[in-house]
Structure 1
Amino acid sequence: MKTLLLSLLLAAITWNSSLAQACMGMNFKSGMSFELSQFNAKDKPIGKINYQVKDVHKEGSSTVMDITAQVEDEKGKQRPPYTIHYTCTGDELIADMSGMMQAMQNGGMKDMEMKLKTNKLVYPGKLSVGQKLSDGQMEVEMNTSGNTMMTMNMIMANRQVESQAPLTTPAGTFNAYKISSDMNMENRVMGMPIRSTMHIVSYRTDNQLFDIKSETYNKSGKLMGYSLLTKTN
């Protein structure tokens, strides 16, 4: 579930080259696919997430991408797919994390009604070393029979671009920016708070939708696991 939360969390039409250029230089069209493979701290594969762009369309002056995510465990067993959305304004790429709600419902919370109260994670069009990024936040309220049973608040804080260097994965070699952040989570179950903190190190490039690599550390600085961009099509 923690890997899924990080991970991130996305009628066929073609996005022509002029529109793609207007959207931060990224070329996307329906049918494109991406594979993120997940590993534990000992480099053992523990699953993968396959993303496929289903639709690219305009909403006002922005471009919106609807992307289907299919999660597989280490044995190849698939969970029900869910959809995530990315909005490109030309200056910012905004990730809609509401697909996490679908994943949680598919994962055993089907009887709960989920209400998304806050939902935003923003990446600027251009990254630079030393740059500070705005906090990301997702706040969810889970109800059953009209009663609030659980709330979840996740904040991605202290987001900063630390360095830039080439990074090679099975999908290729990328000129990647290293971004560090702190993920603070507070779950309240029947009013009782359960808090946790993790440190996230992600690697991004200006012309890719997903992180090239993402590492998750516990509050003591011990690596818990990581993901890699392993395929693009």
Structure 2
Amino acid sequence: MICLALFRPFLLGVFAYLPLASALAQTASPTPLTSAAAPGGCVHPFGLDDNTEYVYQLLDHNGKSQGLIRNRVVSLGSETNKKQTITTNTVLIKSGIYDTKSRLVHSQDLTYRCRQDTSFTDGLGELSFESLRRFRDRRLAFAPVPLAWPNQPTVGSELPGGGVTVDVSSSVVDIAKVFSKVQKRRVTGDLSPITTPAGTFSCYKIESEREAGTLAHVDMLLRTVNKVVDYYSPNVGIVKTEVYGKNGKLEQTRVLTERNLGGKTNQSAAQKKVKVKFKE
């Protein structure tokens, strides 16, 4: 016969622990949303790696498709400053815009960078190719300014602007300046879940003003100004972008629908049937 007295200290310890375990279970809170990107250092901008491809759906104000943007990583690299003290990692991206019938409309090369605790997108990506259509036979000199995306931005903080300016000229005369500037950038929302067809990502909300125009003469400026809201994940990049007109109404949305990480793909059912090859 087993003597219960021998187990009394053990049983008392178990019963004493039960109320504490119950209290812990009741007060436990969900794991807070955090950035997957480290506060310092970077391997590649937004965690992009070789053979990675992102697909974005372009939607009008009614949610109707206007086409696709496909961004594919074609090479990785690095740059070092003259003093050999700071290394900047780079990603070369082939970016293609496709119409609603999956036909390539325009393609360009973009370079993303990262150093220390910040990634940078190419300012060239802010320019609408339509603004250069009338100057297709002219000389074009591009001067892009990258946009900074910190790994852990502070809500309420301001971010530096960026964009691109294009000097249009002929062999004998300057013709115009075409520009797209992103300015007044401010972090207005902390990490929150944003759900897209490619998955759910923890994103910061960043609001800005995009000014685009053509300066043909000193006294002739044609421009438009839009409010832009970006939902940005430090470990993914731009997940969703909303563009608003002067009246404050939504004009266009760009949303991540497919994320191919070197063979592993997250995509919407609508995109599974779309297979488009880049025209190199």
Shift of 1:101: 7.0
Higher strand share: 1
Cα contact 2:241–2:254 (8 A) shared by 1: yes
Q: Percent identity?
A: 24
Shift of 1:102: 9.9
Q: 1:103 to 1:196 in 2, by over 3 A?
A: closer
> 2:236 aligns to what?
208
> 2:29 aligns to what?
none
- Aligned match of 1:112 in 135, 138, 145? 138
Question: How far, CA to CA, are the matches of 1:130 and 1:106 in structure 2?
Answer: 35
Cα contact 2:57–2:67 (8 A) shared by 1: yes
> 2:204 aligns to what?
177
Q: In the alignment, residue 208 of structure 1 is paired with which amino acid?
A: V
> 1:53 aligns to what?
73
Shift of 1:114: 1.1
Q: 1:24 to 1:126 in 2, by over 3 A?
A: farther
> 1:3 aligns to what?
none
Q: 1:84 to 1:102 in 2, by over 3 A?
A: farther
Question: Which has the higher mean CA deviation after the structures are superposed, 108-117 or 80-89?
Answer: 108-117
Q: In the alignment, residue 36 of structure 1 is paired with which amino acid?
A: Y
* SS state at 1:98 partner: helix
> 1:230 aligns to what?
257
Structure exhibiting the larger radius of gyration computed from Cα positions: 2
Shift of 1:177: 1.0
Question: How far, CA to CA, are the matches of 2:116 and 2:76 in structure 1?
Answer: 14
1:23 aligns with 2:12: no
Question: Which has the higher mean CA deviation after the structures are superposed, 152-161 or 100-109?
Answer: 100-109
* SS state at 1:81 partner: strand
Cα contact 1:117–1:138 (8 A) shared by 2: yes
Cα contact 1:148–1:190 (8 A) shared by 2: no
> 2:8 aligns to what?
none
How high is the TM-score relative to the length of structure 1? Answer: 0.82
Q: 1:101 to 1:145 in 2, by over 3 A?
A: farther
Cα contact 1:80–1:106 (8 A) shared by 2: no
Q: In the alignment, residue 30 of structure 1 is paired with which amino acid?
A: D
Higher helix share: 2
Q: In the alignment, residue 196 of structure 2 is paired with which amino acid?
A: T
Q: In the alignment, residue 28 of structure 1 is paired with which amino acid?
A: L
Cα contact 2:208–2:228 (8 A) shared by 1: yes
Question: Which has the higher mean CA deviation after the structures are superposed, 96-105 or 41-50?
Answer: 96-105
Q: Which runs of 5+ in 1 are unaligned?
A: 1-20
> 2:152 aligns to what?
126
Q: 1:25 to 1:48 in 2, by over 3 A?
A: closer
Correspondences of 1:137-152 after superposition (within 5 Å): 137-152=163-178
How high is the TM-score relative to the length of structure 2? Answer: 0.69
Q: 1:198 to 1:30 in 2, by over 3 A?
A: same
> 1:86 aligns to what?
112
Q: In the alignment, residue 60 of structure 2 is paired with which amino acid?
A: N
> 1:42 aligns to what?
62
Give the length in aligned residue pairs.
212
Q: 1:99 to 1:163 in 2, by over 3 A?
A: closer
Over the aligned positions, Cα root-mean-square deviation in angstroms equals 2.3
1:64 aligns with 2:90: yes
Q: 1:224 to 1:26 in 2, by over 3 A?
A: closer
Question: How far, CA to CA, are the matches of 1:58 and 1:126 in structure 2?
Answer: 22
Question: Which has the higher mean CA deviation after the structures are superposed, 91-100 or 67-76?
Answer: 91-100
Q: In the alignment, residue 132 of structure 1 is paired with which amino acid?
A: E
What per-residue deviation string (whole Å, max 9, x for no partner) do you get for residues 171-202 of structure 1?
10011111110112342124411122110011
> 2:19 aligns to what?
none
> 1:194 aligns to what?
222
Q: Which runs of 5+ in 2 are unaligned?
A: 1-40, 81-86, 261-280
